[in-house]
Each structure stands twice: as structure tokens, then as C-alpha cells.
Amino acid sequence: MADLIRMTAAQVVDSLQRGDITPLDCLDALERRVAEVDGQVNALPTLCFDRARKHARALMERPIPERGPLAGLPVPIKDLTDVAGVRSTQGSPIFKDRIAETSDLVVTHLEGRGGVIYAMSNTPEFGAGAHTFNEVFGVTRNPWNTALSASGSSGGAAVALATGMAWVAHGSDLGGSLRNPASFCGVVGMRPSPGRVAASVFSKIDSTLGVEGPMARNVEDLALLFDAMVGEEPADPLSLPSDGTSFLKAARSGWKPRRVAVSRDLGLPPVDPRVADLVMAAARKLEAEGVIVEEAHPDLRETRECAQTLRALSYANMKPLLDTHRDLLKPEVVWNIEKGLKITGAEIARAEAQRGEMFRRMRTFFDTYDLLLCPTTIVPPFPVEQRYVAECDGVKLDTYVDWLMIVHAITLTASPAISIPCGFTADHLPVGLQVVAPGRGEAKLLAGARFIEQVLGLGAITPIDPRT
């Protein structure tokens, strides 16, 4: 069982497709590993192994070639996304006892591709903020040092991966929620282009800020899961049809970038010098491989104003919860809802125009560069008692999301981006490198990220046992 846990997702799927192991073997290994380590990190507070085994047995009644590309590989789902028959809380006391009646599109899509759902991963309340804690399940701890934050909002997913409680994981990202925890936990998380992964529609049918996406321990495994996530679903009007691209093949293609840009801060300081120095050192290692590396970034100066407006607007639809359950909402969510309700039409129009300009500049920037490299997070992991980063490099930050602007900026440009490990601080805490590609350029992004991963030699640093 220990050997199975330490296999890559690609190796596990190969074994499933050969019939060397079964989906039930995978579930047995995971259940044992969860029992061993989750009490120390609190990544997977809701388990559904009975449901998973029922699904696995049904899948095993089919011939192996008909079990889908994941072939029975288990996948945890972030507790913002419904799984039929499973406790789905949104990390909120308001929904602490809620059992989902139906599954979200992304879940049905994954199950249709041979994924087996066995757990819900922890998240901040309604995914708000990049530190995974809530009043239902408590805090999720960083396995590299359990006194520290795992970041968020897909923090439970990242910790499950880092500790061997998952081979791949589902997450979502509006302001870095797939990328931030990947950086803090030494794993890989990718925000795809809007429309790549279909999801259920709720209050706004054309949102391009929040997306669903994959996480894994390395780039190749992430690409394998991404292949199973992409594709058109009529119930999501923005979902893109698959053009037949195998992102796993793209990741394995051996392509390397010719010219990349690197930036310490995207022109959006502050960034902790320890983080910036590791990112710059990682970028310079590419020069020895014949890659042209230049310090540059597009003009993204409107990010803070634009992100604060559009993020708050996305919370305005939560007014009914504010009216009926204000006392159960954490203060950061209350602040975001109230800010959203005060936004004027002129402010919305200005933010949308700013976003359009940043999108255009980013597209032009990629006429010169294959990829853009920068920090994923502006700080290394911080203490779990701290609700968010309020100061960095001597600069005080105004709100609970100001420390996320380096990832928010990429969200606003609709560019796909991935966080991969790029090094460790002096006290052995992981730091992530954010790699950005042109819109809908996931094939190039994954190929480039795997090339960088191989150059840096950090593709096999997890799973680990939790450390204090």
C-alpha cells in the first residue's frame, strides 16, 4: 500500500489500465493513508468511501478499455462543489449539515471519464481568502510545517496531494485558489483558460473570473487529470469543445520555450525578497539550457482597483445570506458582500474597461515571449493563527485580498497559469513559480512547465509525512 501511495498518478493509471491493480486497491490505499496522516493536517474532513466503492464496483463491471481515461483513479472534490449524496458545506456554518441532492457538472464529467470521488477537501468559507480555515471543520495545516498555513482556497486539495492522500485533485480558482496552495505546499496547480472545464451555472452565466481546474504532484499528472476535465457541456454556455488535443502528450512533447520573461513582482509590489530571489534564481537556470531570459512584464497597473471591484461584484449575489445569516458569516465575507452592494454602474464599467485593456496588453506581450514567469505568492507560508497577510516587506496591506494581486492580475487577463515548485527558503518552506501562457495556450503552458520542472529537478518532492 505504501508503494502505491508513492506512485505517480500516471503510473497508477497505467497499472489500472493493465489490470495490475483495481480501483478498489486504490481506495484501500487512500483510506489507510488518510487514517494515518489527516489527523495532523485536516485536509479531507468529509470522506465518502462507501459511495466511492459502489462507483468503483460499477466501473469494474465494464471492460478496462471502456472505463475512461482515468480508469478508476480516485479524485477528491473541493468542498465548494456538490457531489450527490455527500455532505457539501461550502465551509460555512449555514450549510454545515447540507447533503447535496445532485452533482455539479465538473463532478459528473469526471465520473464519466473514470474518476472515482472519495472525499471533499477543506476550503475557506465560500472560498473567500487564501488561508484554509472555517467554522465547520477548522484549519488545514501545511505538511511542511504544521504550524503554518496551507494557503487556499484549494488548501485541502493541496495538502492531500502533498501528504499522499491523493494522486490528483480538483480545485477552483478566482484569485489564485489553485495556484496559492500549490505554492505553499510544494505541489502543482493550474488555472485553465475560462471555458476549458465545464461547471454548473448559478447566478451569473457568463463569468470568466472563477474557473475549475486540476492539481497534482507534478506537471505530467496534472495534465493527465486536465485531459479528463476538459470538454463541452451544453449546461455551461461558456464551455469549450475539445479540439482533440491531448494535454498529457503536450506535456511530454519535449518542447522548450525560446524566450521567456521573468518578473520579481509584475509591477505590483510588495514581494518578500526571499520569494523573489528564488524565482529569479530558478529563471536563470533556464539560461544554461539555451533559453533567452529577460526581465519584463506587461503593464498591469490597474489590477488592484479592477480586481477589488469585480471580486466584490461577484459577492453581491450573496445578499440573501447576509440578510438572514449575517451572524454566521466570517467578517471578510461580510465585508466583500457589502462592498459589492455599494458598487455603482460607473465603477463596474470602469473595471470592465480596465480588464479589457490588461487583456489586450497581455496578448501583445506574448507576441515577444513564449512564457511569463513570476512569483505565485508574495510570501512563504505564514502562521495558521494569522487570518491573512497584512504586511509584506515592510508594506502594510489594506484588505484581506491585497496580498493576492500577483495572481489576481493573471486571472483578469484570462491567461492560463500554473504554479510549480521552484525552491525552498532557508527554513525549508516551499516557494512556487507562476508560469503564464497566452490565452487558451494550455498545451504550451504544460510543455513549458514540465521542461522547467525537469531543469529545476523538483518534480518528485512529495508525498511527505507531516512535519512539525
Active site residue 153: yes
How far apart CA 252 and CA 267 sit, in angstroms, is 33
Active site residue 339: no
Secondary structure class of 133 (helix, strand, coil): strand
DSSP state of 43: -
Q: Which residues of 41-75 are buried (b: 16+ CB within 10 A; e: fewer)?
A: bbbbbbbbbebbbebbeebeeeeeeebbbbbbbbb
Active site residue 330: no
In the sheet that 168-173 helps form, which strands lie side by side, from edge to edge? 168-173, 211-216, 188-191, 417-424, 430-436, 371-375, 259-262, 292-295
Tell me the backbone φ, ψ of residue 423, rounded to 5 degrees.
Answer: 160, -175
Contact indicator for 238, 206 with CB cutoff of 8 Å: yes
User: How many helical (H) and strand (E) elements, i.e. helices and strands, does the chain have?
Assistant: 16, 15
> Would you state the torsion angle of the CA atoms of residues 416, 255, 456, 161, taken in this order, to the nearest 10 degrees?
50
Q: Which residue among 88, 92, 121, 153 is the active-site one?
A: 153
Q: Which residue among 149, 177, 415, 419 is the active-site one?
A: 177
CA nearest to 265, candidates 155, 388, 392: 392
Cα 288 → chain centroid = 30
Contact indicator for 242, 233 with CB cutoff of 8 Å: no
Cell 459589492 found at = 340
What is the gyration radius of the CA atoms in the chain, in angstroms? Answer: 20
Q: Which residues of 450-465 are buried (b: 16+ CB within 10 A; e: fewer)?
A: bbbbeebebbebbbee
- H helix intervals, 399-458: 405-412, 442-456
Cell 460555512 found at = 92
Residue 277: other Cβ atoms inside 10 A: 15
CA nearest to 448, candidates 260, 206, 238: 260
- H helix intervals, 124-235: 155-162, 179-185, 219-229
- Sequence-separated (6 or more) residues with CB below 8 Å from residue 439: 193, 359, 362, 363, 413, 414, 415, 416
How far apart CA 456 and CA 460 sit, in angstroms, is 11
CA nearest to 268, candidates 418, 402, 81: 402
Residues with catalytic annotation? 78, 153, 177
